[in-house]
Amino acid sequence: MISIRPLDLFAVDQLGPRARKCVYWQTDGQAGQAAPGDPAFEKEAWISHVSLEWGVCGQIARYGDRSTGAAFYAPPGMVPRAACFPTSPVGSDAILLAGMSIEHGAPAGALTSLLDAVVLDLRRRGIKAIEAFGVTSEHTGEVMSRDTCGSDSCIATTGFLIEHGFTVVAEHETHPRLRLDIESEHLWKADVERALDQLFAERGFATRKLGVLSGASARSTVDTPSAGSQSR
């Protein structure tokens, strides 16, 4: 089962190697691309800065005893890359989803679990909306940071974001900007479904299908041995 924990100052070492070294969002794509330095150190410094100034800025997914992915988020003013997209700027009332990636061999559903955790954390903190820059499936991307991460490695696809409740607020051929308004009604349903998932897991039943973020879109299904698939 995939487990999620908040990324705080004590959990940096639990990041997987891909998330640990990716500084795509921590650079502006120009000045720092060829500069010397340790990406892992810079990523840790950014996490420390944002955590101390703003609070928890990420979620870590684990499967068994290994890290399988991570999601990062912060006010856009704390994310150097935020101003570099053709569909910038991010809305003044929104938090920016600043990177989502999975490690090699991650199980299906890891990204959905991470996004679910991000939404629930921000709702608890009274945040009104989340915005994200998507990448179209046709875009092959460029390596724009010296860690060789590149935009296609840590930006969620536009299709994934739309599937999970985001809507496009700024159209673009390759990098549209999308928004998810955090609505209490939808997220109340997410809390209910999370409790149901836990109950089914404890009873040995199959849980709802992975791949749909119920907290954002309020669209999910539950599979049980007796009733088959039942849409809610």
3-state SS record for the chain: CEEEEECCCCCHHHCCHHHHHCCCCCCCCCCCCCCCCCHHHHHHHHHHHHHHHCCCCEEEEEECCEEEEEEEEECHHHCHHHHHCCCCCCCCCEEEEEEEEECCCCCCCHHHHHHHHHHHHHHHCCCCEEEEECECCCCCCCCCCCCCCCHHHHCCEHHHHHHCCCEEEECCCCCCEEEEECCHHHHHHHHHHHHHHHHHHHHCCCCCCCCCCHHHHCCCEEEECCCEEEEC
- Min mean pLDDT across 109-123, 129-143, 144-158, 174-188 is at 144-158
- Selected residue with higher pLDDT from 14 and 188: 14
pLDDT of residue 149: 61
Most confident of 25-29, 111-115, 221-225: 111-115
- Rounded alpha-carbon distances, angstroms, from residue 6 to 118, 149, 167: 9, 23, 26
- Is a pLDDT exceeding 90 seen at residue 169? yes
Distance CA 90, CA 129 (A): 11
Of all residues in the chain, the percent with pLDDT exceeding 90 is 56
Model confidence at 222: pLDDT above 50: no
For residue 158, pLDDT over 80 is answered with: yes
d(CA 96, CA 155): 12
pLDDT at 58 over 70: yes
Q: Which two tokens stand for residue 136?
A: 């179209």
Q: How confident is the model at residue 74 (pLDDT cuts 50, 70, 90)?
A: very high
Lowest mean pLDDT among 16-30, 97-111, 141-155, 204-218: 204-218
Predicted TM-score (pTM) of the model is: 0.77
